[in-house]
Structure formats: C-alpha cells, structure tokens
Structure 1
Amino acid sequence: QICALLFVSLYILCHFIITHFKKHTDFTAADAQLSRRLGLCTFTLAVALGAVLLLPFSIISNEVLLSFPQNYYIQWLNGSLVHGLWNLVFLFSNLSLVFLMPFAYFFTESEGFAGSKKGIMARVYETSVVLLLLTLLVLGMVWVASAIVGNNAASRQSLYDLWEYYLPYLYSCISLFGVLLLLLCTPFGLSTMFTVTGKLLVKPRLLEDLDEQLSCTRLEEAAVSRRISSASCWLNLNVELLREQFFAIRSKRRKLELRHRASPWQRNLGYPLAMLGLLALTGISVLIVCFHVLELLLDDAAMPRGIQDASLGQVSFSIFGSFGAALQVVLIFYLMVSSVVGFYSSPLFTRLLPERQDTPLTKIIGNCVSLLVLSSALPVFSRTLGITRFDLLGDFGRFNWLGNFYIVFLYNMGFAGLTTLCLVKRVSWAVQAELICAFGEDRDAGTGAGVSHIPPPPPPALTLSLCPGLHKLPLPVTRSRPLGKPC
C-alpha cells in the first residue's frame, strides 16, 4: 500500500509535468489512443522520478531509524519496504525501456499493414509485429554477446533463462551506457550551471557607476531612435544596421535598469552566495571521489558490490553521522540536476529540450526514455563514485562490470579529472573576464572615453559624439543627392 501510494503521487506529479509541455494540437486530433500513449509516457517518467528518489529515500530512512529506533509511528519504515522499492524500480525500468516506450513510439509511427482496414487495431497489429521483431533481434544480440563473453558451462546454461539472465544482462548494458552518459554530462552540466546562475542572478561589478552607464545608454538609445525616425532619401543610411544597434542598446538598457532596481543585498550577497554554494558542492564532490580513488587502491571493500539484505537502522553510512548523510543526499540531487543540465546543453541532445505547450509526442517519448536512462543509472553512479556508502540493493548490484576494478578506477579518475578541468576553466575564465571588464571600464572612465559597451563602430570619420560613450555610435551624414533637387 505504501509503495502504491508513493507511485500514485509520482504519477500525478508527472501527469501535470507532461500536460505542461505537450502540444495542444495532439489532443484535437481524432486519435482515441493518444491518452493511453501519454499514460505510458507518464508511467515512464514516474519510474524515472522514483529512481532519482530511490537512493536519497534509503539514506534518509536509515538515519530516521537510527535516530528513533523505538518510535511506533515509523515502524512501517523498514528494510523490506526499501528492498521492495528497489526491486519495483528495477522491474518497472526494464518494462518501460524494453516494452512500453518502444510500443508507444512504434504505435505513433504506424499506419497499419498494406491492404488492411485503417483503424486502431491495424496500427496495434503492426506495432506488435515490429516490437516482436525488435525483441527477437535484441535478444539474439544479447545471446551472442553472452556466449562470447562467458564461454563456460554455467554461462551456457544461463542463456536459456530469460527472466533471470537476459533482462538483468540487458539492463546492465543499458545502465553502463547511462553511467557513461552521466560521466560525460555531469562535468559539462556543472560548468553550465555556473553560467546559468550568472545570467539569472544580478552580478556585482567592481569599480562601476550604474547611474552613469544607464544615463549614457539612454542617450545612445534616444540618438539612434531619432536617426531611424528621421531617415529619408536625403541621407544614405543603413537603416537595418541602425535597427540592430537600437535593439542591442535597448536590451542593454533594460539589463542595466534591472540591476539598478536590485537591492544591495540581492546584488552583493545573492550572487556570491550562489556561486560559492556551487563551488563548494563541486569541490566536495571532487574531494570525495579523490578519497574514494585512494580507497580503491588500498581496500577491496570499496568496490560497489551489491547486497541482498537491507540492514537499515544499524549504522550510519557516513562517518559524520546525520550531517554527512544529509550532505550525501544534497550531492546526489546536485549531480542529477547537473547531469540533466549538461544533457540538454550538449550539442547532440539540444533538440530534445521540451518546449512549453509545444512538444510533440515523439519528443516527449524521447525525453522520457533519456531521463529514465539517466535516473536509473544514478544509484550506480553515486555508489561507483563513492558519494554514498549505501550498498546497491536487489538486481542493481548484480551488474557484472561493477566488479571490474579497472573500469571502476578509471571511471573515478575520469570524473575527477573532467570535473576539475571544467571547474578550473570556468572559474578562471570568469574571474579574468570580470577583472578585465572592471579595470577596462575604470581606465575608460579615467580618460573620459565612457563606460558603456555598444556595438562595434564604423570608420571614425563618420561618427558623432554627444556624450562620453557616444563617440562609438555610427551616425553617417553622407548626402545621396545634390542640394536643391527634390526626391
């Protein structure tokens, strides 16, 4: 009942999320099965969200049982519940990736076999046949790969066990792909989050006079506006160029007004705290991974092997107690958000980014599959990097590659190296840009050259200086006709 209640809550939440992004024209089409396909997408997204919450929920449950071991109201929170949740997430992830999402996609693209009556059942028949052929193809590839990798009697005997061998082996390959995708997306996402935070929050600027910049920008905007409104055949003006400069100056003026209206607390405290928080979380993650690398070299118990019994409420999984467990939960969510940001920011997957009220069904299916692959690999990702000491439960700990020391060691080294490189690159470049901009503006202000930055100027012979900074604005005055001749 508790598992059903949790899943229903996640399903309702995911339904509102998909409704927020789906394209309205889809529901006006005469397709009776559209709601069912959206239901499959909602189910898959709910499983993905459950996979994200799986490890944090387990860590919090362990700490709650440690803090209140004899409390009557939390007796329902036990090892069997947590173990059951891990098994259900594993089962539903396999079901969604192997059957539900391929069926939804093939049904969307199907039209029925040639010569058959057009309708829902014809599309169902075609989708079922295509899905069956795809399943046989995938199972055949897995059978061949298994026979090549494990050439012994036990492996050959297990080849005939579909439920106990094929699906865990196939999901192990999918999880390995998801973990590798997390390895590539997370450092890139960490770097992108610094940039996004700088754009969303009001940044403090060193040695800056906002009143002077705002006044000068308003004069520049008014000057360009007058030049555009007074353009005639008497003057040879590039109106399109002036319009582009006008929009650029207006955009800058609005940003300056937004910064001017921001309170000193928001301008001087909000941005530094946010950047320091991101920097601290990233640095702690790198330090934990580096310490885990040393553990891998010295202690064989640091390998991310799974267990079958959930020993909750006996010992904390962090040497810092409840504070360390809370930090582990924060880091897990932080890495997941970073991986999603990096996934949608990468050039390969930018087109999958959903748009509000304008996302077609095929793109929704692609997003659900991608998020499920990332989220189902999150527990393995966190345990492999040593972010948490909570062992993988159920079938998540049966992946063969988790016992390979070289894969785990190189994975940790790759994450630490890529994250450190992106962090140093992003922070050092940002600091250099701020210092160059600040001292450059201060030097310009000292020489009377103005403090505002406007679009690149044309040849200086045709410019007009109305105030400090306007000497960079192009205002050509070349006549196109002799005086005295009408247009």
Structure 2
Amino acid sequence: MMEHHWDSTEQIFHDAIREYLIDLLFFTVLYISSYLVICRYKRQADKEDYFSADASDAIVYRVALWSCTFTLAISVGAGLLLPFSILSNEVLVFYPNNFYMRWLNGSLIHGLWNLIFLFSNLSLFVLMPFAYFLTESEGFAGSKKGIKARVYETFVVLIILGLLVFGMVWVASAIMDSDSSSRETLSRVWSYLPYLYTCISLLGVLMLLISTPLGFTRMFSVIGQLVVKPQFMENLEEEYHLAKFEEDDLLRKMQGSESSAVYSIEHTNGQTELRQRLAEVQRDRKVLDRRRKASSWQRNLGYPLLWILLFALTVLSLCVVGWNIFRLLFGIGFFSVSIKEAGLGKVSLSMLGSFGALIEVTLICYLMLASVVGFYTVPFFRSLVPRVKDTPMTKVIANCLVILILSSALPLLSRTLGVTSYDLIGEFGRSDWLQNFYLVIGYNLLFSILTSSCLLNKFTSTVRVYIQHSVAQYVHNVREANHFRTSSFWSQKSQNGNTAHVKGTNGVTAVDTGAMNGGLSTKSE
C-alpha cells in the first residue's frame, strides 16, 4: 500500500480543519457547562414578569438566555487561556515529537487567544447590551406591540449608544495622538478600537485590585460554610435543634393562621412571609443535618487541611508579588522571557520547570476564584449575588457582564503581578500600560499593601475586639470607681457640714440662754 504524501497546501488545509474542530469542541463544552450553571441560578420561566404575557416575551427570554450563556462561556474561556497556554508549553517541552500531541501547537494557542478576544468584544459591546435593552424594551409609543417593535427599539438604542461610544473613542484618540491628521478624519478610529478594550481591561484590573484582597480574606469564611468544622469550633447539634425548634414554631403559626376565619391582605402577606421563612429554615436544617452526620475524618481533617492550603496559597501569592517588586526595583529580568521569540514548547518559562509552571497555574486559578468571591463581598455589589432558582434575568445579565470583565483582565493581572512570565498573545498584549514601569510598580505595591492589611484585619479581629472590650471595661470600671469616690467624698463632706452646723446651733442656743438668765438676775437685784 502506497503512502500518500501531502503537499504544503493540503497540509495547511488539514491543520486548519483540525484547529477549527478543536475550537468548536472547546467552545461546545464551555457553552454546555455555562448553560447548566445559568439554569441552576436563573429564576424559573413561569415566574419571570416578561415571560407570562405572550409569545414575544418568550422569544426575548430565550434570546437573553442564549446571550448570557455565550458570554459566560467566553468568560470561562478567557479565564482558562493563560493556564491552558502554560500547561501546553510544558507538555510540548516534555513531549516535543509525540504523535498524539501534534494537534497541540502554537497556531492553535494563538487562534484561541484571538477568538477569545474577538468574542469578548462581541459579548461586551453587542450581545450583553442587546440582551439587556431587549428585555427592557416595550416598543415605541404608537407602534404595534410585538417582537418586531421591541427589536426595532433595541436596535435604535444600540445605534445611539454606538455613536456615543464611537464619538468618545474618536475624541480620546485625537487628544492622545499628536498627529493632526487624526483630528481631521474618522477613518483612523477603527485602529483605536482596541484602545477601548484596553480601557475596559484596565477597569477590570482596577476591580481586581479591590476584589482580590477581599477575596483572600473571604475565602477563609467560605470554607467554614462549605466544610464541616471540628467540634470544638462549632456546635452543630445545638444549631440543628435550634433550627428544628424554629421550624416547628413556624409550622404551628401557619396552622393557626390557616384555621382562623379572617382573611385579608395583611393575612395573605403574613402567610407569604411565613412560607418564605419556613423554606429558608428547612433548607438550613437540611444542611445542618448533613453536616452533623459527617464522618470524623471529614470533621477533623477536611477543614484544617483546606485552611492550611488557602493560607499557603495566600502567603505564596504575597511572596510572588514581593519578589516581583524586588525585581522591578533592581531591574532583574523585567519581563525578559518571550514566548514569541522562543516559540511554544521550546523552553520552560519557569525557573522551577514543570513544578513552577504548575504553581503558576494554581496561583492564577486561585486569583480568579478569590477575585469573584471578593467582588460579591464588596458592599455595593452584594445585591448582585445570584440565588439558586431565584435570580431574575436582568441580574443574570449583570453577573455575566461582570465575570466577563474580571476574567478578561485576569491575564493582565497575572502578568502585572509577575505570577507568570508567559507573553500575552494577540490583542491582549497590546496594552501599553503593561510596559509603564511606574504603573506596574505602583499596582504591585498597592496590591501587596491591601492584601496584607486585609489579612491582618482578618486574623487579628478577634484579638482586637477582645482588647477593645477589655479597655472599654477597664475605662468603665475606672469611671465607676471615680464616681463612687466622688459621691462618697461629697456625701461625707455634707455629713460633716451638717454635724458642725448642729453643734454651732447648740452653742448659740446655750449662750443665748445664759444671757437671758443673767439679764433676769440683774433685773431682780
């Protein structure tokens, strides 16, 4: 049997088809996973206000759901870009000529970065605004109600918004560009459109600067809610019985309220509140029941090991940032390693080899998880926290948009903090501020200071509360003692004054009596 020899054109064609199939499979897995996640948190369709009117509302609901699913899939893909690229480089270093790894090459990685960048812009500037305005639109006044009127209104609003953004980008590019021709024509605006995405990514990096340190501290509380603590740290039996008693009390109140013959609006509202509270208590009781039935291994080893792991990752992150600050200050390897020059799979980008690459991937994933947890810890954004089976579609859109911004900024954050030396490929690497020394060193210093202060506040809060309580109690005792001494002094002084007054009054009375007696005796003589 003769072997078929491919020419260069056929080989390029087959490589392209293989890359497209891998990309399609990758995005299909992400899309299905994102759809399952959104279905877990979104409010049921029959409970949505804009779903129960007519068929057009159902179409709007499905379009918004598909847009959110696509956006969340792209967000997860953007978060996995850097870890996947680092692991791919290490795999190719170990198996450079392996037949089963021929599909993994630089062209595939570069194509993934470009597709994620393209779809991120599409989701950020088109799909999410379109989904939000479509759900909020009702059609212009006087137009026939229906899906066409809502789509028409949505497109008009999007065109106006696009013109506004277009004008802002043109003005910003004209101000920042010293070339006078940029102020005379709009044709060069398209070359500055990546600048708009750079501004969005910079906003995401600033959001990560706030949310990631908060997430580091919040993670220690989250594992306490997910993992059973040792018995000396919490009393599950007591909490379970309290929840059981509250559940029985609510059931008795509901039965007593239903047996009464008086029905009114207040009665209906009270029944609704009781049902909601009963559902929450029953859910908490079931969780406590599962936790109190956990094995001793889970109870005594799970929480300590997870706590130690989180603490080690947090300390390691601070050490990496500190080492990056040291390198920046003394000019040691300022972004010296370039994957573009070396090529994918030619050299390991970590000083520790594959072990260092594994640490980098772990830290990047930990940063992403901490940033999402910390974002929902910020008081201003707590209202966006999704609830299982009870999140309206507008909140789903907002959450998908926020996660997209955070995940798109994750490669920039990892590169800025020195977590990895892997080059940002494609349009992600066009962020000019990454080469600004003062911005990078300032960001690293702020990140380390905020993280250290948050951790210090977290681990010393109990001691500080105890010290404040002790000092307050001591000051209260001193004030009480001084008040008692002052009151005793004045009471004793008043008693002494009363005694002297009584004695003086007795002496004057005796003198007057003697004088009167002497006068009487003189008269008698």
TM bracket (short chain): 0.7 to 0.9
Q: Quote how far apart the aligned CAs of 1:405 are.
A: 1.2
- Say yes or no: does 1:409 pair with 2:441: yes
Q: Which amino acid aligns with 1:299?
A: G
Q: 342-351 or 143-152: which moved more?
A: 143-152
Aligned length: 408
Query: Secondary structure of the equivalent of 2:376?
Result: helix
Query: Secondary structure of the equivalent of 1:63?
Result: helix
Structure 1: segments with no counterpart, 5+ residues? 230-246, 437-487
Preserved contact between residue 340 and residue 423 of structure 2 (Cα < 8 Å): no
Q: Rg larger in 1 or in 2? A: 2
Q: Which amino acid aligns with 1:17?
A: V
Match in the other structure for 1:83: 110
**Aligned partner of 2:450 among 407, 411, 418:** 418
Preserved contact between residue 43 and residue 389 of structure 2 (Cα < 8 Å): yes
Q: Report the CA distance shift for 1:305/1:272 in structure 2 as closer, same or farther (over 3 A).
A: same
Relative to its length, the structure with more helix (as a share) is 2
**Aligned partner of 1:188 among 207, 214, 220:** 214
Q: Which amino acid aligns with 1:4?
A: L
Q: CA RMSD in A?
A: 3.5
Query: Secondary structure of the equivalent of 1:139?
Result: helix
- Say yes or no: does 1:118 pair with 2:127: no
Q: Quote how far apart the aligned CAs of 1:296 are.
A: 1.2
Query: Secondary structure of the equivalent of 2:460?
Result: helix
Match in the other structure for 2:314: 282
Q: Quote how far apart the aligned CAs of 1:15 are.
A: 1.2
Preserved contact between residue 310 and residue 393 of structure 1 (Cα < 8 Å): no
Query: Secondary structure of the equivalent of 1:386?
Result: coil
CA deviations over 1:168-227 (Å, ceiling 9, x no partner): 011000000000001100110111111122233333366x9979x96xx99xx8xxx9xx
Q: 55-64 or 425-434: which moved more?
A: 425-434
Q: Which amino acid aligns with 1:406?
A: Y
CA distance, structure 2, for counterparts of residue 327 and residue 159 of structure 1: 47
Structure 2: segments with no counterpart, 5+ residues? 1-20, 254-277, 469-525
Q: Report the CA distance shift for 1:282/1:161 in structure 2 as closer, same or farther (over 3 A).
A: same
Q: Which amino acid aligns with 1:375?
A: S
Preserved contact between residue 37 and residue 104 of structure 1 (Cα < 8 Å): yes
Q: Report the CA distance shift for 1:205/1:423 in structure 2 as closer, same or farther (over 3 A).
A: farther
Q: Which amino acid aligns with 1:64?
A: V
Q: Quote how far apart the aligned CAs of 1:397 are.
A: 0.9
Q: Quote how far apart the aligned CAs of 1:149 are.
A: 2.2
CA distance, structure 1, for counterparts of residue 309 and residue 27 of structure 2: 32
Q: Quote how far apart the aligned CAs of 1:264 are.
A: 4.0
CA distance, structure 2, for counterparts of residue 20 and residue 322 of structure 1: 37
Preserved contact between residue 183 and residue 415 of structure 1 (Cα < 8 Å): yes
- Say yes or no: does 1:358 pair with 2:390: yes
Preserved contact between residue 21 and residue 359 of structure 1 (Cα < 8 Å): yes
TM (normalized to structure 2)?
Answer: 0.71
Match in the other structure for 1:400: 432
- Say yes or no: does 1:8 pair with 2:28: yes
Q: Report the CA distance shift for 1:151/1:119 in structure 2 as closer, same or farther (over 3 A).
A: same
Preserved contact between residue 41 and residue 390 of structure 2 (Cα < 8 Å): yes
CA distance, structure 1, for counterparts of residue 209 and residue 186 of structure 2: 31
Preserved contact between residue 41 and residue 389 of structure 2 (Cα < 8 Å): yes
CA deviations over 1:378-426 (Å, ceiling 9, x no partner): 1111111011110111001111221211111111111111111112221
Q: Quote how far apart the aligned CAs of 1:298 are.
A: 2.3
TM (normalized to structure 1)?
Answer: 0.76
Preserved contact between residue 338 and residue 423 of structure 2 (Cα < 8 Å): yes
1:456-475 map, 5 Å: none
1:115-264 map, 5 Å: 115-153=142-180, 160-166=187-193, 168-204=194-230, 262-264=294-296
Q: Which amino acid aligns with 1:71?
A: N
- Say yes or no: does 1:50 pair with 2:80: no
**Aligned-residue identity in percent:** 54
Preserved contact between residue 304 and residue 391 of structure 1 (Cα < 8 Å): no
